[in-house]
Every structure is written in C-alpha cells, then in structure tokens.
Amino acid sequence: SLATVDNPDLVKAATQFCEQVIVRYARAQIEAGARIVMVLEPTAVLLGPAAFWEFSGLAVRRIFTQLDCMTVLHICGDTSHLLPMMAETGAQGLSLDTVVDLPTAAGNVPADTVLMGNVDPVNVLWRGQPAGVEQAVRRLLDRMAGVENFIVSSGCDIPAEAPLANLRRFVETVHAYRAQRAPL
C-alpha cells in the first residue's frame, strides 16, 4: 500500500501487466470449459475505497468486461469498507473472508450480486472437528436465511491439511439444511 503513495506509476504499470496476464489465463480457462472465473486479490484490503478503486478496482473491472462468464472477486481480510467498490467492479459474485459480517454485507451490495462465504477455513475446516463444522455452517446458514443472493462457502483458501471428514460434513450440512427448508 505504501507504493501507491511512493510510486503510483510503478504500481499502475505492474497492475496493467497483471491485467494482461490474468485475462489471457482466464480466457484459457473459459476455453477449457470454465463457467466461473474468480479473481483473488490478497492485499487490496490495505487500501481505502478511493485508492482501491484507482489501483485495483478499475483493473478488476477491465478484466471482468473482457470475460464471457460469471465473475467473482475475492479480497482477503475485512473488506467491509470496500464492499460498494467491490460491487462496482462488475463482479457478479463477491467471495467474502471470515471476518466480514455477511448479514451486514448483504445490505451493502446490490441484490443481484451473489455473496459467497464465509466459514472459517483454518479454525473450523482445518483445526475443527466435524461437529464444530456442522455447527458453524448451520449458524451461518441461519444468519443468512432469507438472503436470496447467498452461497455458503469457505471464507478463504482451505488448507490442504484440512481433514476430509470436515469437508464432507460441510457439504452434508449444507445439503441437509437446504433439504429441511425446501418448499413443499
């Protein structure tokens, strides 16, 4: 984030290069059959809304306008202060990290933007037990009940060491929860 102040031209040049690489890679994924492309932005949370838009958001928007598929944006950390700008990128979905309050987030993005998240990948999915996974997933689903534009997922990358039993319980819990609440 200091480089955006100390050397903004360098940051913009690097961003433009990354845009080109990302678009080429995403198009190759689409040609191979991908229907959804997610852009992962690990450091933008360090920026305020104006700096985010100038140094990241515009680039993400340009990337998404060049892709013929569903687009999702994930920024690590508490992006509550960036949610309106994240939605302005044209992302059709926003993947939100564990620290973001999803019910609050739902009120800060357009209803046609899909919210994804945000079960803790480390403390719940990796270090937790299946019963704790089920409890965390049910709690999140209860909190998001009635939010039509929500997909439950992990809040960030799931560590490779996460027990398969926890991942199974995650999926099973979502299926059971949805089946219990399906209209007759």
pLDDT tens across the length of the chain (184 residues): 566 667 788 888 999 999 999 999 999 999 999 999 999 998 889 899 999 999 999 999 999 999 999 999 999 999 999 999 999 999 999 999 999 999 999 999 999 999 999 999 999 999 999 999 999 999 999 999 999 999 999 999 999 999 999 999 999 999 999 998 876 5
Q: What does the pLDDT read at residue 39? A: 96
Return the pLDDT at 181: 82
Residue 50, phi then psi, degrees to nearest 5: -65, -45
Helices (H), the chain: 3-6, 8-31, 49-52, 58-65, 83-88, 102-106, 130-143, 164-180
- Residue in the structure block whose two tokens are 């190759």: 28
Residue 139 pLDDT: 97
pTM listed for this prediction: 0.91
Distance CA 67, CA 63 (A): 7
Burial grade of 179 (CB within 10 A; 0-12, 13-18, 19 or more): exposed
Give which of 56, 120, 67 is closest to 89, Cα–Cα. Answer: 56
Question: According to the model, what pLDDT value does residue 2 have?
Answer: 63
